Amino acid sequence: MLRRAGVIGRRYGLTAGGMDRMLAHFARLLAELKCGATFPITTAALARSKKVIEKYQSENIEFAVHGYYHVDHRQLSLERQLADLSRAREVFEGRGLSCGGFRSPYLRWNEDTLRAIGQTGLLYDSSQVIAWDVAGESETKSYQQVLEFYQAISARVYPALPRWDNGLVRIPYCVPDDEALIDRLQLGGTGLSKPWLAILAETHRLGELFTLGLHPERIYLCEPALVETLRAAHELSPGVWMARLDRIARWWLERTEATVTISAGEGETARVSVKGPEGVTILAREVEVRAPTKKWAGAYRQVEATNFSLPAVPRPFIGLSPSSAPYLSSFLRQQGYIIELAKEAGGYRLYLDRPSFGYEDERSLLDQIENSEGPLVRLGRWPHGAGSALCVTGDIDALTLWDYGLRFLGH
């Protein structure tokens, strides 16, 4: 903390001019790289500022709530969190800023935090830390300690994907972020980009989401790593959807609510009709689709129609036992899989009967489905045929030295 305070002292000033210049540079860089960003900002700092933040909203930048004060929300009661979030929404709305999501200061939260977010009408939370095993020989005890402090979960067990749960979209925050790379792993120069490039490659292979964390006050230091990573993302195929957190959350909800109607066709065929948001992607593997298709990734082809016929036997969907856990059905739909309730496995290459299913089972189930053989038709996770997604995001804890100093007093 003292090290970080020294750095901030050199970068910030008594006014918000320093942060304004850093945000302007960040915004120009993102525009050149055709990418937006989400910056959660501490509301008290926003309230003390004068027209520093609002102008960036028109430059494809979203500002989310980063607490009213920069304090550990795990130590706050539900009543206090509700009051703080309600005040935060009032400040945002009073400044003409849209207010769709939340990230906890220090990335620390509890169940009351989630209740307060939902009850105050916010769409998403991005406080859950997911750790990628990319540090290698650079890993330090300090890095392990901060993962424990965050109560980070491992990407080897949990997929890095949004989750619609109890009316709230949970979007994970990937580490190592800039703070971990520089202060915990003590990397520099070309070493900064290697972990981010490794996460990008793995999220693209798995079709998942990379939330690239970069605090605006480190934009000059991390600019080469950011540029290299985003340029690499633009070269991948299928493409990487680069979007703000609010758009990712809305897409996840809209695509999950897409309807797939299956009816009997002529002979042993089935007619499939998909109604979903603009950009909904339909993928098929090892099945003859009677509609135009193009190569996508692996054994999948992208179907270029929303109404088409295909062989009905074997069923190119996932059969699901009625006795399976309710969350299993929700999880499969969120991934874009088309499910049919069936008492028996006959006719299905993929049939699931899992009375017990929890978050810790998600990664292994996805591996089981994607590594299986046989026909399968599903919806893609991301819009317009994208293979994975990426969001640049970084917290604005303070705008001035005064803001940073007041943090230690809980203001």
Q: Check which CATH number belongs to the domain holding 102 and give it.
A: 3.20.20.370
Q: What are the per-10-residue average pLDDT scores of the chain (411 residues)?
A: 62 73 96 97 93 93 97 97 97 95 97 97 98 92 96 97 95 97 90 96 98 96 97 98 98 97 90 97 97 97 97 96 96 98 93 96 97 96 98 91 62 59
| Count of domains for the chain | 2
- 43 and 184 in one domain? yes
Residues 91 and 212 placed together within one structural domain of the fold: yes
What is the structure's pLDDT at 166? 87
Q: Which of 267, 271, 265, 255 is nearest to 379 (CA)?
A: 255
DSSP, res 290: B
Is 96 part of any domain? Answer: yes
- Expressed as residue numbers, the domain containing 289 is 258-385
Residues 380 and 395 in one domain: no
| 10 and 112 housed in the same domain | yes
Query: Is-cis flag, bond preceding 172, omega within 30?
Result: no
Residue 243 lies in a domain: no
Rounded Cα–Cα distance for residues 400 and 411 (Å): 13
Do residues 151 and 187 share a domain? yes
What pLDDT does residue 158 have? 97
11 with 91, same domain? Answer: yes
pLDDT at 131: 98
Q: What are phi and psi of 99, to 5 degrees?
A: -135, 95
Q: Is residue 99 part of a domain?
A: yes
| 24 in the same domain as 55 | yes
- On whether the CB atoms of residues 182 and 122 are closer than 8 A, the answer is no
Q: Residue 250: inside a domain, yes or no?
A: no
Model pLDDT, residue 407: 67
Phi, psi of 364 (to 5 degrees): -65, -35
Residue 142 and residue 279 in one domain: no
Tell me, yes or no, whether 17 lies in a domain. Answer: yes
- Going 329 to 331 to 333 to 337, the CA torsion angle's sign is negative
CA distances from 155 to 111, 128, 210, 364, 399 (A): 21, 12, 11, 12, 33
The verdict on 374 and 398 lying in the same domain is no
* Residue recorded with tokens 């070309």: 190
252 part of a folded domain: no
Per the domain annotation, does 213 fall within a domain? Answer: yes
Is 316 in the same domain as 213? no
Looking at the domain assignment, is residue 316 inside a domain?
A: yes
Could you give the CA distance from residue 409 to residue 411 in angstroms, rounded to a whole number?
Answer: 6
User: CB 142: neighbour CB atoms within 10 A?
Assistant: 13
Yes or no: say if 297 and 381 are a contact pair by the CB < 8 Å rule: no
Same domain, 275 and 205: no
Identify the DSSP state of 344.
S
Residue at 376: amino acid letter: L
* pTM for the predicted model, two decimal places: 0.95
Domain shared by 86 and 65, yes or no: yes
